[in-house]
Copies of this chain bind each other. A is one copy, B any other.
Amino acid sequence: MSTIAPTSRTTLVRRSDRGTYDRAVVNAILDEALICHVGFVLDGQPFVLPTTHARIDERLYVHGSVGSRMLRTLRQGIPVCVTVTLLDGLVLARSAFHHSMNYRSVLILGTAREVQEEAEKRRAFCALVDHVVAGRSTQTRSASPMELKATSVLCLPIEEASAKIRTGPPIDDEEDYALAHWAGVIPLALQAEPPLRDPRLPAGIETPASVARYRRPVP
């Protein structure tokens, strides 16, 4: 079992029993989540923006237009925080105080570098598409040199990171178990509905199995 070394910044202040530095756990959360939230600082103001991501080994990639505020800021090599959260359920306790959520989240701190080498940029580009739908990069027109140039790809090493997980039923104060309030968990899952064909798609083009039977996590 590979473990990520905790730092003072990734050591959980509270509920350390919910934390883990197991790389396999961190990777599984990153791979299941479709989006991440990227935090960076601009003129002293934190910004948090949602975007897609992909993991290759121990590196996380994000991308965007070279003209975007996020990419223009991050390519300068400033501190960044990438957070990924999977919401698994609503935890309803007998007391308002002990209401909670079941979730799996990962926090990665570090400094992103802009990918310069074309081969790595292409690999990241494919990974970003395949992260959304497995195998999709082979079922689309790949990026042209101009499209690659218009896109900035950032790489963040998954070196300073932690995961936090809550599972299971509510934990009420012992005396509250005698109360007559309903308690339990409402499980939540991000579910795919039947795919919508592009209105301009010719009738003869069949829906690939990866799209027709889409689900997370990828089986």
Nearest-Cβ distance from residue A37 to partner chain B, whole angstroms: 4
CB within 8 A of A93: which of B140, B142, B192?
B140
Nearest-Cβ distance from residue A63 to partner chain B, whole angstroms: 10
Tell me the number of copies of this protein.
2
Q: Is A28 among interface residues, defined by CB-CB distance under 8 A?
A: no
CB pair B96 A125 closer than 8 Å: yes
CB pair B45 A182 closer than 8 Å: no
Q: Which of A61-107 contact B (CB under 8 A)?
A: 65, 67-69, 79-83, 85, 87, 89-90, 92-97, 99, 101, 103, 105, 107
Which residue of chain B has the shortest Cβ distance to A179 in the bound complex?
Answer: B141
Task: State whether A193 and B189 are in contact (beta carbons under 8 Å apart), knowing that A48-B81, A144-B97 are contacts in the complex.
Answer: yes
CB within 8 A of A188: which of B142, B191, B206?
B191
CB pair A184 B201 closer than 8 Å: yes
Name the segment of A19-27, A113-121, A128-136 touching the other chain: A128-136
Q: In the complex, what distance in Å separates the CA atom of A49 from the CA atom of B9?
A: 13
Which chain B positions have C-beta within 8 A of A194?
A: 187
Q: Is A185 among interface residues, defined by CB-CB distance under 8 A?
A: yes
CB pair A129 B39 closer than 8 Å: no
Q: Is A207 among interface residues, defined by CB-CB distance under 8 A?
A: yes
Nearest-Cβ distance from residue A22 to partner chain B, whole angstroms: 20
Q: Which of A179-219 contact B (CB under 8 A)?
A: 179-202, 205-208, 211, 214
Q: In the complex, what distance in Å separates the CA atom of A47 from the CA atom of B200?
A: 43
CB pair B189 A205 closer than 8 Å: no
Q: Is A14 among interface residues, defined by CB-CB distance under 8 A?
A: yes
CB within 8 A of A87: which of B34, B99, B170?
B34
